[in-house]
A = this chain, B = another copy of it.
Amino acid sequence: MAEEIARTASASSSVLRAVLDADRVAALKRIYQFLKDGKDRILAANRADMAAAEKANVAGPLIKRLDLSKGDKFDTMIQGVLDVAALPDPIGKVQFANKLDDGLDLYRITCPIGVLLVIFESRPEVIANITALAIKSANAVILKGGKESFHSFAAISELVREALADTKIPSGAVQLIESREDVSALLSQDQYIDLVIPRGSNELVRSIKNGTKIPVLGHADGLCSVYVNEDADAEMAAKIVVDSKTNYVAACNAMESLLIQRSALSTLLPAIAKALTEAGVTLRATDEVLAALVAAGVESNGQALIVPAADKDFETEFLSMEVAVTAVADVNEAVKHINTHSSKHTDSIVTPSKAVAETFMSGVDSAGVFWNASTRFSDGFRYGFGTEVGISTSKIHARGPVGLEGLTCYQYRLLGHGQIAGDYVGAGGSKEFKHQKIEL
């Protein structure tokens, strides 16, 4: 069963990879139209999911997330398909070209990865987004969504297949699977599946990484830090720190650790700490930081918003109104602290000094290294990618917010006129390679 699904996806990928962008766009427009016309059918299936969730005593906020009829959720979902269709074609872009010899030209060209296995949560609108991303990037996709939205997924996926019937996209290019058993069986199909993309919790990502040889594009924790250098403007520092921490505490790009230069404990820390506690943030501070706060008269007003830090606080993704605070000697110690404790997601420095910022950005080994900006900007939409496949904390292939480009790889195309290696030096002949860059 799993092998058949994977083989079907692989065979479809072999056809899909050569389908032109115009035909991929036409298919996406057709999907948009079918979903639009099938609104009643989808919403009926969605009501069945909600009824089942109520019956199973699923929590109220979760049921609300399932509801496709709320506000403009449905229209936003189908508009997203058109938005992805309108993005530039990610396939067939020439990355570079080398003339190896006269009439022997090498091109490196973007191409689809092949077969994607995407495992996602229960929000029913996600399936339309992933389907659009896969088709736009000419990848075949196997979809597995959370079971709470199963009826909605099935209805959307049936409409997608109906829409694809009269297009250049092979019908096996988009397959929906139902059970967890299928997922674990598919994770062993590394001869057919090229990339697994888990979109959900850290636990989901970790358990998938443990169970497969297929490369996984997923994010682990988001343990982001802000470092405030002694020469920082107090107001700017407080603003960035508060936004990084409080703008959306459950986000992976929220700040979890605050580092402050030791020499600024009496000058900058009080204002920053005050701004944080006024915003309702609990500071988990080292002894040194605690002492500085007491000396400066910053108190937690009986709300216990300033408490001693434990070592593990600097390796904790709070995802709540809490932050670990420590002092460091200088930017070099900040870099060392971050490279040791952070999850290599996004870290920011506040300083007016270009030299200090450069030391920070070239030293910190994270996907995002920011200078005088909130960590919350680390996001595909804010980066201007038009859409987001996910956020990767891997250092291989794609890093940070991943746009459509993350669903591509490349091929080398060598265009010759009958040349053979045996005529060239190193393989038995005497001809020399020219190796001249071809300007594009």
Contacts and interface: CB of A to CB of B under 8 A. Distances in A.
Contacts of A92: 362
A422 B368 contact: no
Contacts of A39: none
A41 to B, nearest CB: 31
Interface stretch (A30-38, A174-182, A304-312, A390-398): A390-398
Given A383-B98, A410-B399, A426-B381, A209 B213 contact: yes
A93 interface: no
B106 A383 contact: yes
Contacts of A243: 420-422
Nearest to A253: B421
A370 interface: yes
Interface string A406-421: 0001111111111111
B239 A396 contact: no
Contacts of A239: 418, 420
A421 B339 contact: no
A427 interface: yes
A100 B111 CA distance: 28
A416 to B, nearest CB: 3
Contact of A370 (B242, B399, B414): B414
Contacts of A427: 247-248, 376
A427 B239 CA distance: 15
Contacts of A368: 411-414
Interface string A352-384: 000001010111011111111110111001111
Q: How many copies does the complex hold?
A: 2
A259 to B, nearest CB: 15
A113 B195 CA distance: 20
Interface size bucket, A side?
Answer: 35 or more
A384 B433 contact: yes
A242 B420 CA distance: 9
Contacts of A420: 239-240, 242-244, 247, 373-374, 376
A419 B361 contact: no
Interface stretch (A11-19, A45-53, A153-161, A316-324): A11-19
Contacts of A10: 339
A233 B418 CA distance: 9
Contacts of A340: 14
A222 interface: no
A61 interface: no
A421 B340 CA distance: 27
Q: Which of A14, A104, A377, A410 has the most CB of B within 10 A?
A: A377
A194 B111 CA distance: 25
In the A-B complex, the 6 residue pairs with the closest CB atoms: A373-B416, A376-B421, A243-B420, A384-B435, A236-B418, A397-B397
25 contacts: A14-B339, A14-B340, A14-B365, A17-B362, A17-B365, A104-B373, A106-B383, A111-B362, A114-B365, A114-B395, A240-B420, A243-B421, A244-B420, A357-B415, A361-B411, A366-B411, A368-B412, A369-B414, A372-B416, A377-B421, A378-B412, A378-B414, A399-B410, A400-B412, A401-B412
